[in-house]
A = this chain, B = another copy of it.
Amino acid sequence: MSSERTDQAVSAPFAARVSVEQVEEGLDLAPRFDADGLIPCVTTATASGEVLMLGYMNDEALRRTIATGEAHYWSRSRQCLWHKGATSGLVQQVVELRIDDDQDAVWLRVEVAGSGASCHVGYRSCFYRSVELGSSSGEPARLVFTESEKIFDPQDIYGDAPNPTQL
């Protein structure tokens, strides 16, 4: 990390998408943002390989993540740039950033500061429940918790901030 790293750090603009060969086989970073200007981002824990969350980035969030080495997202519920951990202290340090074949998805491998949690409900991973497989009988699928207890109490961290979950 160079001395240029500040809260304003942002990488250069991305390459234009000119051909399938360039996008799939080339060395230009030429991401494809969707109609809302967003690209989905899978974030995994470097040590365990566990998927911590699925977030979204806009152009600025991706460029700030590249420049600073800390995960930035676009908050769809709050409609603002989101430096992950700015409120909770649970900053995600990026060990590796990958892009997929057609460059419409990002994968971050991260180390999480502090308690290591990444989920606003208080669990380590947002994916703290599994679905029972093999159900085709007519009974609705049920969930099973894969984390037995929360790592932090959301009330302590977020107070009265609105819950981002939308019905």
Contacts and interface: CB of A to CB of B under 8 A. Distances in A.
Interface of A: 1-2, 4-5, 9-15, 17-20, 23-29, 32, 40, 42, 44, 48-51, 53-54, 66-69, 94, 96-102, 105, 107, 119-121, 123, 126-144, 146, 163-167
Contacts of A19: 167
Given A66-B135, A98-B128, 4 more contacts: A27-B144, A29-B140, A49-B49, A66-B131
Does more than half of chain A's interface fall in helix, strand or loop, or is it mixed?
Answer: loop
A104 to B, nearest CB: 8
Contact of A99 (B32, B101, B131): B131
A54 B139 CA distance: 28
Contacts of A137: 4, 12
